[in-house]
Amino acid sequence: MATGKSDISGWLVRPASGPLWAGLVAVLGALTVHTVLVTSEGGMDNAIVVDAGRTWLDGGSPYDDRHFLYFPSAVVAAAPPALLPRPVLDVAVPVAVVLALALGWACALLLHRVPLRSRLAVLGLLGLAAGFAPFGQLVRLGNWTVTAVLALPLCLLLAGRGRWVAAGAVVGVAVALKPLLAPMALLFLFARRWRALAVLVLVPAVASVVAALFLPDPTGFLTRTLPFLLSGDDAFVRLYEASPAAVLPRLGVPGVPATLLALLAAAAGVVCAYRRWHGPGPAGPRLAETSAGLMLSAFLVSRPSYNHYLLVVLPLLLAGLPHAGAVARRPWFWLALVPQLPGVTWPWLESGRRRAFRDAFTLCALTVTVAYHCVRGTRDAGGPSGVPGERRTAVEPA
């Protein structure tokens, strides 16, 4: 990492001033308070999970709601919030989501060895909150995607310090709450960390099996939710899905070719991520870019695939900005994010029902940018990291 005064990296990693911190607190505070005032139960998506917990406590099956797309373990996790009074949820959920987003950003910074008191620490989070529309949407919805936004950088931070089993446990817990990070099992496979991979798989599997025993419909996830996810047959959900498999049919492409195209693109993305894992460079960027490639590839084919899923990978890539050759220094990294600027009206795409086209462009452009970087753009990242005490062997490819 360059820290000289002649390089932008040096300016970014130096301590932030008081006014910058005040601006960040003001923006996050305004977003949180606004969400508290305009939402109930912490947001529409949080209400779906909490209602599932209430249904279970009342003796019903959570999977009667076709929009409840979580493992049985999430039902048990939703039970404590379901017992809270609704006014408490109105306040607690937005505050918890913002704190989790901030902690995830802090873990991403630490992964790249960027000081938490730096200008990038402040400006990066400020930019995400004020300049990236899915950030505010995630807070207002109260979506449990926020667990993955925190868990992924924490997992990579632990892996970068050689604590792979703990990293696997973190991802396993996150998958038990929401299966978004399941593709991260490929990183542990790349690294041949078999014990950590076993922990990652066993934690959600055991938690879900045990939780299912207490549900009135123990096989509800397999018989109702899984077929729904595979078919994607929901007119409301389809309007907001950003994956090519969902967007291309809306443009007239038959469903089967669209799905095959998305699968091929995802497979190519996984290959590029594998190349990055075995490529040069410090531990932090390799872990972050490999994981981003895997997750973005999964988003190309996952059903559903929403724009706020991008917050799982974006902080990891943005936090690497001070490193020479970082993907965040590529023009297309920033151009891909332009459709997500809040307050910009795009002709013929201004309707919420057409937002998926903008989201699909961001997803595809960002995926291609990261994939290209994983294969061709890491030459400047070679050599020693220059960070004293870095445990290179902790993440060395097996």
Res 239: pLDDT: 76
- Whether 233 has a pLDDT exceeding 80, the answer reads no
Query: Locate tokens 């949407």: which residue?
Result: 137
pLDDT exceeds cutoff 50 at 398: no
Structure tokens given for 256: 């089967």
- Confidence band, pLDDT 50/70/90 cuts, at residue 160: very high
Is it the case that residue 17 has pLDDT exceeding 60?
yes
Q: What are the Cα distances from residue 247, in Å, to 154, 238, 252?
A: 32, 8, 9
pLDDT at residue 389 in the model: 33
Q: What is the pLDDT of residues 186-206, one digit of tens each?
A: 999 999 999 999 999 999 999
> Residue 14 and residue 338: Cα distance in Å, rounded?
27
Cα 136 to Cα 38: distance, rounded to the nearest angstrom: 13
According to the model, what pLDDT value does residue 222 have? 87
Q: How sure is the predictor about 118, in pLDDT bands with cuts at 50, 70 and 90? A: very high
User: For the segment 341-393, what is each residue's pLDDT rounded down to a tens digit?
Assistant: 998 888 877 666 788 899 999 999 999 999 999 998 655 444 433 333 334 43
- pTM comes to 0.91
Percent pLDDT > 90 in the chain is: 71
CA 283 to chain CA centroid, nearest Å: 20
Among candidate residues 315, 245, 268, the one with its CA nearest the CA of residue 101: 315
DSSP 343: T
Q: Note the pLDDT tens digit of each residue in 67-96.
A: 788 999 999 999 999 999 999 999 999 999
Given a cut of 90, whether residue 185 has pLDDT beyond it is yes
For residue 45, pLDDT over 60 is answered with yes
pLDDT, position 138: 96
